């Protein structure tokens, strides 16, 4: 029998009550490598977390959970740019606040995104007209077994919408730092439609954009310590022009955008049209203000309860629209990440 006595509830934003065999907070690379090597030698699973903001634990974890707190922000400059080298154990939102305080601008649209710097390039985090790929120049990774470090330049990161090469490649490596390049000449990013609808110059400073982004995120996404959630559970689907036009003939009010000759749809709208708004089962609720968010409403639902509702939504949307949503959240069982297509397979 495997004894898992270390509670993970406070280090996963779904607030799922699961345990791990061992949890250790690390503050430097030698400690990280030593622990990883030790547990791998025992043939026990290892998992690195920052805030646990994009994971769903289904069961107790039968291995070591490493909480990454390897900190450090290093700034240099050239004539036109700020060059930032940030260690992976830095909190993302605190980094955004730090740069604005230092009058280094550009990240303000990405304010209040949960998680730590190490996870940011994996998902290519983005919001309100911006994403990390616009600023990332490289990602440094380490093989904790032999301590070899590789620098993956932006061109090889294969950044796409909520995707990077790190989701499928470099499985034996851990992200240890990220390089960002921010122009000294600040130009506001007003691509988000609410900015476009506003009066001229109302968002004419980085601080005003930062404040506005924080205010709307607080209104749209419940604070996870009060009501467990991981933000958007599913990705917004990207479909062919042919399927998009076919759906528009049936659903003329369907919101969409055209990107690189593809239709990008609102997963929240698709879920809403399947009548899941406010739906609740086994303590898991589809958030009434944003159907992409699944809430651990009373913080006592299990990971399986949350997964079961997600699967129900997946099949309902697929059967109605012919679109099979892709989960954005990483699903973890006893031994690590599970391929979601095994769990969300079609009927």
Q: Which of 53, 119, 131, 232 is the catalytic position?
A: 232
Q: Which of 53, 88, 162, 177 is the catalytic position?
A: 162
Q: Residue 328 catalytic?
A: yes
> 146-157: buried (b, 16+ CB within 10 Å) or exposed (e) per residue?
eeeeeebebeeb
Place of tokens 């993970």: 8
Grouping H, G, I as helix, E, B as strand and the rest as coil, residue 259 is strand
Cα separation, 188 vs 109, whole angstroms: 9
Q: Residue 119 catalytic?
A: no
Place of tokens 């903001």: 53
- Comparing C-alpha atoms, which of 299, 75, 72 is closest to residue 176? 72
Q: Residue 259 catalytic?
A: no
Q: Which of 51, 90, 108, 328 is the catalytic position?
A: 328
Angle between helices 206-220 and 92-101 (to 10 degrees): 160
The alpha carbon dihedral of 56, 59, 60, 63 has a sign of negative
Residues 6 or more apart whose CB falls under 8 angstroms from that of 57 comprise 8, 12, 14, 16, 18, 303, 332
Beta bridge mates, 150: 141
Beta bridge mates, 286: 294
Contact 3, 17 (CB under 8 A): no
Q: What are the start-end ranges of the E strands in the chain?
A: 6-7, 19-26, 46-49, 55-57, 61-68, 73-77, 81-87, 126-127, 130-131, 136-143, 148-153, 174-183, 238-240, 256-259, 262-265, 280-281, 284-286, 294-296, 330-332
Active-site positions read: 162, 232, 328
């Amino acid at each position: 029998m495997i004894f898992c006595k270390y509670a993970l509830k406070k280090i996963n934003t779904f607030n799922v009550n699961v345990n791990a065999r061992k949890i250790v907070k690390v503050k430097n690379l030698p400690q990280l490598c030593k622990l990883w090597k030790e547990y791998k030698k025992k043939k026990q699973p290892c998992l690195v977390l920052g805030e646990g903001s994009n994971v769903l634990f289904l069961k107790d974890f039968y291995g070591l959970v490493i909480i990454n707190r390897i900190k450090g922000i290093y700034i240099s400059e050239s004539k036109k740019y700020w060059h930032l080298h940030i260690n992976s154990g830095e909190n993302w939102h605190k980094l955004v606040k730090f740069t604005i305080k230092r009058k280094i601008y550009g990240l303000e649209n990405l304010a209040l995104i949960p998680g730590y710097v190490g996870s940011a390039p994996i998902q290519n985090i983005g919001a309100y007209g911006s994403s990390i790929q616009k600023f990332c120049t490289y990602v440094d990774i380490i093989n904790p077994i032999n301590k070899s470090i590789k620098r993956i330049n932006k061109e090889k990161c294969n950044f796409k919408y909520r995707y990077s090469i790190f989701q499928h490649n470099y499985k034996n490596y851990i992200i240890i730092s990220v390089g960002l390049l921010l122009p000294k000449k600040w130009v506001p990013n007003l691509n988000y439609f609410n900015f476009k609808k506003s009066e001229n110059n109302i968002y004419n400073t980085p601080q005003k954009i930062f404040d506005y982004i924080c205010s709307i995120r607080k209104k749209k996404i419940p604070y996870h310590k009060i009501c467990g959630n991981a933000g958007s559970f599913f990705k917004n689907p990207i479909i062919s022009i042919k399927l998009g036009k076919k759906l528009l003939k049936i659903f003329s009010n369907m919101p969409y955008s055209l990107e690189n000759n593809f239709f990008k749809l609102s997963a929240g709208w698709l879920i809403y049209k399947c009548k899941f708004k406010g739906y609740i089962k086994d303590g898991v609720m589809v958030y009434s203000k944003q159907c992409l968010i699944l809430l651990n409403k009373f913080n006592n639902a299990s990971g399986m309860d949350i997964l079961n509702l997600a699967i129900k939504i997946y099949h309902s949307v697929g059967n109605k629209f012919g679109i099979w949503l892709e989960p954005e959240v990483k699903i973890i069982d006893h031994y690590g990440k599970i391929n979601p297509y095994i769990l969300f397979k079609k009927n």
